[in-house]
Structure 1
């Protein structure tokens, strides 16, 4: 500051020779023209040339890569704002020179003292902008790095990748925020204590929300299911359409969208019908007690093998399951690949239709429900009595 004041004094002594108004007008015109030339022409061209020179002279060094990288991220409006700032400083210096030329030295010294007191604030503001720019560049570069890793790593799903990106970016922004607070000499200890109490209050007030949030992270990384999987959670069944931090969204087979909080999802058994890439289906069919079970098994097995939607491996199986009231129950077991609800219902429909047609062709009867009536010996069993109308009644 003292050096600036002494510089003004020396400049004042130099200009004392400009006693006449004509000389001061000439000096004013000269200073004004010089400021306009420097601010409007020399400064923009010089900064652009300096940037290009640093980018080319440094070649492929790490510093040159950083200069080019920052240049790609800095918007044109920000670069133009920087140029306008420097131009403003040049014009301000010209204005101070004009004050001295016209003998307003006290006013010039007052302006310089004000600017000198503002220099720390301007410096902190400039450093804040630099930290914000570096945080922006770092967050975007971190995202690109995670995306590149995700393309090569099969173990990292899209949702896990999204979580890693968001957590990393939050960490970068928090670090930048702490640096900015340090630059502005904010008491971080008191701030952290206050944040701790606030966290306790928020945690007590939003236990369920935080539980769903934590459960969302668990689901993202444990990966019991992914988008597109056909799952069953408790009484809800459908296809997963979205997984967020707070809830899981299913579309059931009635076309309804079901939102399940992630804490509820973690508390229930999850059946994933798509995880193995194949699904076994079971269909029961009954044959008459007079029919040969082995022959019925062979007919049903050959029929199922000819259906194209049924997978070849594992092979279909026909297992006599139980004795029904009217039939011997055969359980037909078969597999489908890439299971989805439409593929399941299509396979079941074609198996039922084809087996019924084959049984009819082979004379294998699928009986209706039947009841067998018998009378006790001491009551002489059933007796047929002719009624007055000529019909027969069973007694």
Structure 2
């Protein structure tokens, strides 16, 4: 019972933080879904962005929780510096993954094209004209007129010029 008596303040603050994290996650998820509905963004991309935002909120809440429970600032700085150093070395080795994730988030919010659009990627060495089949967190799936599937990294979409040619309708006849 002495634990509850000794740490009442920390337990109350932790409970309030947990409540705020849950409420913030719900509000942000509803906001992103509302944005996605008004801009007609597909559900898969919406869920990815919500997952990234929830991860950020969780990390921030853990840092606040560490501060609430009274760890020394110097110990926190040393631990965060060590983690940042290891993560920095790992991310430097995997910069393209981080770049593709960031590009995927930018594509979600700027939304220059959608699934079904036919695009031309202006690459001097390897020009591509294809229909967008899927847009993921790391890459975009394209299908050429020949039926060839091309997986194109998101970060390269920002390095090359892109033209949106038309929306694909499979040349079907429409009857009233």
Q: TM-score, normalised by structure 1?
A: 0.35
Matched, 1:173 2:1: no
**What is the match of residue 214 of structure 1?**
102
Greater than 6 Å deviation, 4+ residue runs: none
**What is the match of residue 343 of structure 1?**
171
In structure 2, do the counterparts of structure 1 residues 196 and 221 end up closer, same or farther at CA, with 3 Å as the change threshold? same
Higher relative CO (Cα under 8 Å, sequence separation at least 6) belongs to: 2
- 1:220-369 map, 5 Å: 220-233=108-121, 234-274=126-166, 339-340=167-168, 342-343=170-171
Residues 127-171 of structure 1: per-residue CA shift (max 9 Å, x gap): 43442243123201221133234444x4x8458755664454334
Corresponding residue SS for 1:249: strand
- Alpha-carbon RMSD: 3.3
Residues 301-343 of structure 1: per-residue CA shift (max 9 Å, x gap): xxxxxxxxxxxxxxxxxxxxxxxxxxxxxxxxxxxxxx52732
Distance (Å, rounded) in 1 between the aligned partners of 2:76 and 2:45: 32
Residue 254 of structure 1 deviates from its aligned partner by: 4.3
Residues 98-153 of structure 1: per-residue CA shift (max 9 Å, x gap): xxxxxxxxxxxxxxxxx22553357645643442243123201221133234444x
Among candidates 143, 155, 165, match of residue 29 of structure 2: 143
Residue 250 of structure 1 deviates from its aligned partner by: 1.6
Distance (Å, rounded) in 1 between the aligned partners of 2:170 and 2:36: 31
- 1:110-129 map, 5 Å: 115-117=1-3, 119-121=5-7, 124-125=10-11, 127-129=13-15
In the alignment, structure 2 segments of 5+ residues that lack a partner are none
Distance (Å, rounded) in 2 between the aligned partners of 1:215 and 1:201: 21
Corresponding residue SS for 1:343: coil
In structure 2, do the counterparts of structure 1 residues 131 and 116 end up closer, same or farther at CA, with 3 Å as the change threshold? same
Residues 167-197 of structure 1: per-residue CA shift (max 9 Å, x gap): 5433432332122111222343223322332
The answer to whether the 8 A contact 2:45-2:137 is kept is: no
Distance (Å, rounded) in 2 between the aligned partners of 1:248 and 1:136: 32
In structure 2, do the counterparts of structure 1 residues 341 and 271 end up closer, same or farther at CA, with 3 Å as the change threshold? farther
- 1:46-195 map, 5 Å: 115-117=1-3, 119-121=5-7, 124-125=10-11, 127-152=13-38, 154=39, 157-158=41-42, 165-186=50-71, 187-195=75-83
**Alignment: residue pair count:** 165
In the alignment, structure 1 segments of 5+ residues that lack a partner are 1-114, 275-338, 347-395
